[in-house]
Amino acid sequence: MRRQLAAILAIPTVLNGLAMLVAGPLWYETVPGVPDTGPFNPHFVQDIGVAFLVAGLALAARAWRPRYWPAAVAGASFLTAHALLHLVMLAGGHTHHPTFDLLAIVLPSAAALYSAFPSQGENHA
């Protein structure tokens, strides 16, 4: 089940990274809360797009081959650290989109971290 969850989560993570790399301005204007962070910085958006792309590919690798779970843990750790920043902003009242943050960032990152680790008795070869 964890591998299937990793596969499901890999898809939007890879797509998000690709959108940031290929259509940064459109991504910047359409994701809730992003325009509130300041002016568009293409290099910054591309840097983070690469991180999302790699995290998504690591989750996909976990889904494809169980032995790649350490890569998925690394990718999910990025997503989790990103989610923790959003939780701090939520706790401090510094977000205008709390539902989006919880449903689109925090919940998927927790699921990604769960999916990255092998379940007991899972074949790692």
In this structure, what token pair is assigned to residue 30?
A: 């359409």
Q: Which amino acid is at 110?
A: A
C-beta atoms surrounding 95 within 10 Å:
19
Tens digits of residue pLDDT in 89-124? 999 999 889 999 999 999 999 999 999 999 887 765
Taking the domains of the chain in order of start, what are their residue ranges? 2-116
Tens digits of residue pLDDT in 12-71? 999 999 999 999 999 999 999 999 999 999 999 999 999 999 999 999 999 999 999 999
